[in-house]
Amino acid sequence: MATEPIKARRTIRKYTDEKVSDEQIRDLLLAAMYAPSAWGKRSWQFIVVDDENLKKELGELTSYSAQAGQASIDIIVLADKNISSSWIEDASIAAEHINLEAAKLGLGSSWVQIRGMIHDTMDAETYLRNLLGIPDNFGICCMITIGYPAEEKPPHREVEFTSNKVHLNGFSGLGEAA
């Protein structure tokens, strides 16, 4: 049986004006720092953005980032490529820990893709690197937007267990439901 934050977590893109507290921000980052990392190298770094002008910029970063402008905070998840060749995996798991902790705290959150996305005529990663002064050796994985939810989404249903995604002792085809 999945544990509660895993079941409760949904992508929330609409937020109230209420600000998340410093203690909640610390809890979110601490959760990220519990993430496993390749060779235990903890290659990640986190940029918390609460400045209204910067958040507005983040809201316009990609075609799918509008909620960043409305969120209480946005957390950019980076990892040092010089420390770990598995930086994408390290950063992704840490980012998902933030999502799950947000669900536990009753906050809404959403993952915003940055890697491979476009901002106007340049790639979003380069734009963000310049905006926030991120050194070249840091890969930018994603941004997690956080705030008090202004939309309700029910937990995913238990029936979403999808047996044609599971194979025993070798790849056994996708079955009739594929």
Shortest CB 173 distance to ligand FMN, Å: 26
Instruction: Tell how strand 138-147 and strand 108-113 pair up.
Output: antiparallel
Instruction: Tell how strand 73-80 and strand 44-49 pair up.
Output: antiparallel
Residue 72 binds ligand FMN (CB under 6 A): no
- Residues 18, 2: Cα–Cα separation, whole Å: 30
Written as six digits, the tokens of 34 are: 């519990």
- Residues 5, 155: Cα–Cα separation, whole Å: 9
Cα dist from 109 to 14, 67, 137, 146, whole Å: 9, 10, 27, 5
Residue 112 binds ligand FMN (CB under 6 A): yes
Shortest CB 120 distance to ligand FMN, Å: 16
Residue 119 binds ligand FMN (CB under 6 A): no
Residue 70 binds ligand FMN (CB under 6 A): no
- Residues 117, 18: Cα–Cα separation, whole Å: 29
Shortest CB 169 distance to ligand FMN, Å: 28
Residue 39 binds ligand FMN (CB under 6 A): no
Nearer to ligand FMN, 157 or 173 (CB): 157
Nearer to ligand FMN, 13 or 55 (CB): 13
Chain residues 46-65 in contact with ligand FMN, contact rule CB under 6 A: 64
Shortest CB 11 distance to ligand FMN, Å: 3
